[in-house]
Chains A and B, each alone.
Chain A
């Protein structure tokens, strides 16, 4: 390569790398700005926020919005329900899915194929909203806590992922346990389960995030019972009330909603309240995020193994 050509390539490389870096940084800003802005608003004085101009840093710092949020009875209860529901779903889903995955990982099991097909098919078709709703209704699960977890105790996708993972356990291990007289459940509980912990951890995180973020089941089945409301549902209600104000073009003003739950003479606005609840709802996700991302590649690796 001639000296001139080399110089040209060098300059091209520098230009490309610079533009690329600028674009990627811009993209990162676009990704984080909405959350950072919300964080800033949540720590800013509500009446000051209405004047506009809050970007990434609060102008008049206050904890008042959070004070209001933590004193709202509905948020307290919703937080409790969201946490309980997530814990129950994670435990039941992992237990039942892994148990079933163990049985269908056993090559000699007579119903292995049938069970696999029954579950895999459900990944591709759905009876639809109304028939499912009527089933839940006929089972008497409308406005109950159990509607949150019973429909989710086994999930087809996780079943296949777990089965694939369990198959990597040497068969001789299971054989020798059998020769020693161990029953099937004991083999599953004492030998298989400890060996699939990395897989369980990954799935647990994703199941937990899914459950924490879900809104539709509360909306469809439990919207008639305030005690069963979740954080996402409460946040959406607040969003809906401020949205209608927003579409008319008027800045969201001070409303009675802002006074909810406090006898204080201070006020907050739906906008600020919404920001605080958004942060409150997102924090658990952001807390598990470092663990989640450690498992991304791993989780995807186990998910992608096909037969």
Chain B
């Protein structure tokens, strides 16, 4: 009978041993990993379409004609180019207005809510202003179009303006291009203003209360406290969100423009995402639409990386 050695010579732990030991974890996770790769990474192969004259009905996937950067050139010159540049302008304009109005709206609301001493009233206001965030864009677009309609169709805005004597005839808000950017920005404001205060209110709770006490002793009034203590206290939050929003400036939404846009305002309403939809899905010009999509993704990635870099430089936590 041989005695077992007390200490086995230590086996070298190889990757294969680890994998064998963790096979249950692998079975639980790797299928989901493959699933994600299929749904989020495999479509990137489709980017090749942007460098081809892609005609799925005529030729097979492997026999497409390569055209280099032709489609990207087409995005910026000629008739398509005019339309694309217009849509790019609309995307940037609508995003910009949405960001600016959104900031003014939610920061001021957060500041004012912070001044409310009656907790119950504050809670009620918060719960009411958060609510539109949970309504779908379909519903919001319906509400917006009703509110902007002529008075007999429920258009409260025209109704009020007429009663105040500011206008004589109802304004056809949704048929005039010049209002469209504002309508998009205000719809976003209405929907998200309350919800976006959450992050500022959270930042405000982190401000040291002794700062306020010291300010009172120094004779600061309410506005001075808001301006010199509360606002600087949430400055880093504001900066981070601003940078992040600029990074996503090409994401102007889709649904609100699609629902409220119509032939009369298309000049100001159409954004890049709708361009992609119209050319790609509706006209079947996959190549040009994909090129537009790539342009958008690449610019977004550059902007986000820049935003991330700037945030890091400013001493803020990296966003990505």
Q: Residues of A at under 8 Å CB distance from B?
A: 9, 12-13, 16-17, 20-21, 23-24, 27-28, 30-35, 37-38, 41, 50-55, 96, 99-100, 102-104, 106, 108-111, 114-115, 118-119, 122, 124-135, 151, 153-154, 183-185, 188, 209, 212-216, 220, 232, 235-236, 239-240, 242-244, 246-247, 249, 251-252, 271, 274, 278, 281-282, 285-286, 289, 292-293, 296, 300, 304, 306
Chain B residue numbers with a CB within 8 Å of A124 are 301, 304, 320
The residue that B143 contacts in the complex, of A38, A50, A108, A296, with Cβ under 8 A, is: A38
- The answer to whether B28 and A100 touch across the interface, beta carbons within 8 angstroms, is yes
Residue pairs across A and B with CB atoms within 8 Å: the count is 244
- The answer to whether A30 and B190 touch across the interface, beta carbons within 8 angstroms, is yes
Chain B: residues with Cβ within 8 Å of the partner, total of 94
Distance between A145 CB and nearest chain B CB, rounded to angstroms: 17
A281-B28 in contact given A110-B15, A251-B152 (Cβ < 8 Å): no
- Is B19 close to A, CB under 8 A? yes
Complex CA–CA separation, A202 to B40 (angstroms): 25
- The answer to whether A16 and B174 touch across the interface, beta carbons within 8 angstroms, is no
**Residue on A with the closest CB to B198?**
A300
Complex CA–CA separation, A50 to B153 (angstroms): 7
Chain B residue numbers with a CB within 8 Å of A103 are 25, 28-29
- The answer to whether A274 and B43 touch across the interface, beta carbons within 8 angstroms, is no
Complex CA–CA separation, A245 to B136 (angstroms): 23
Chain B residue numbers with a CB within 8 Å of A214 are 136
Q: Residues of B at under 8 Å CB distance from A?
A: 15, 18-19, 22, 24-26, 28-30, 32-33, 35-47, 49, 109, 112-113, 115-117, 121, 124-125, 127-132, 134-139, 141-147, 149-154, 156, 172, 174-175, 190, 194, 198-199, 202, 221-222, 254-255, 259-260, 262, 264, 273, 276-277, 280-281, 286, 289-290, 293-294, 296-297, 300-301, 304, 317, 320
- The answer to whether B145 and A16 touch across the interface, beta carbons within 8 angstroms, is no
Complex CA–CA separation, A243 to B258 (angstroms): 12
Distance between B319 CB and nearest chain A CB, rounded to angstroms: 10
A306-B317 in contact given A24-B112, A100-B28, A127-B44 (Cβ < 8 Å): yes
| 11 further A-B pairs in the complex, CB-CB below 8 A; given A24-B113, A151-B39, A246-B153 | A12-B221, A13-B222, A50-B152, A114-B33, A135-B43, A154-B32, A154-B35, A239-B138, A243-B174, A246-B145, A282-B139
Chain B residue numbers with a CB within 8 Å of A133 are 280-281
- The answer to whether B290 and A131 touch across the interface, beta carbons within 8 angstroms, is yes
The binding surface of chain A is classed by DSSP as helix
Complex CA–CA separation, A285 to B138 (angstroms): 14
Indicate the member of B28, B156, B174 with the most A CB atoms within 10 Å.
Answer: B28
Chain B residue numbers with a CB within 8 Å of A209 are 134
Complex CA–CA separation, A127 to B123 (angstroms): 41
Complex CA–CA separation, A215 to B256 (angstroms): 11
- The answer to whether B262 and A247 touch across the interface, beta carbons within 8 angstroms, is yes
**Residue on A with the closest CB to B298?**
A125
